[in-house]
Structure 1
């Protein structure tokens, strides 16, 4: 089975990437892997604080994931898989691709704000020639109707 890998973060464009991946998966008999990365810098070490912060981050991610997962299960009828990793988001996307040979496409949302940059997308594009799968870039301002039409 071919899986679509989407990075779950707090960005607005993440929503369109999720929609696109779920609709493509449903239309092609594929799956969706939602990757969320806890930046190592957010975890303070010492005296058990790291464990508490890690647990809180997992709870926050799982609640955020469940919002998308509920829609995917009911609308496009796709059961998404959640993967939580710690480290640099770009590094962890690359690592996940290397560890899961069923990932066939990376789906990234693109912010329509020309002043903002996406460091994960920048890194992936720099390494696109050596990645084991293609990258699909989904504009963050596409309407639901347009997404449905192109998937």
Structure 2
């Protein structure tokens, strides 16, 4: 009887050790699964945070570049407008000088001559250029 009693005791002792080992293995696997899940979650949160920071930085840089470009464009438009105004003023003075010359030649000539025809054609060309510049100035505004 002692043999059977020893055998039953031996089998009884091995079962709890197997169950304890299995529980320890399950707990070990669960801890690893939790650690892996926590690592994946942390990586996802960190990548989202970095992505938001990069998007904000790009937005700020883009806004600064747009503001700079707008400033440069405004300066260029101002320069163009002032140059067109100067050219218009010069053309107007030329037109007035031609008108005075034409009036003078008209007063001095009894009959139409080739010179007055040339002056009229020059006057018309200057007026056309003046109108073109005026249109360009209006487009710029």
Between Structure 1 and Structure 2, the one with more strand by share is 1
TM score, norm. by length of structure 1: 0.24
Q: Per chain length, whose mean CA-contact separation is higher, i.e. which structure has more relative contact order (CA < 8 Å, sep 6+)?
A: 1
TM score, norm. by length of structure 2: 0.25
Between Structure 1 and Structure 2, the one with more helix by share is 2
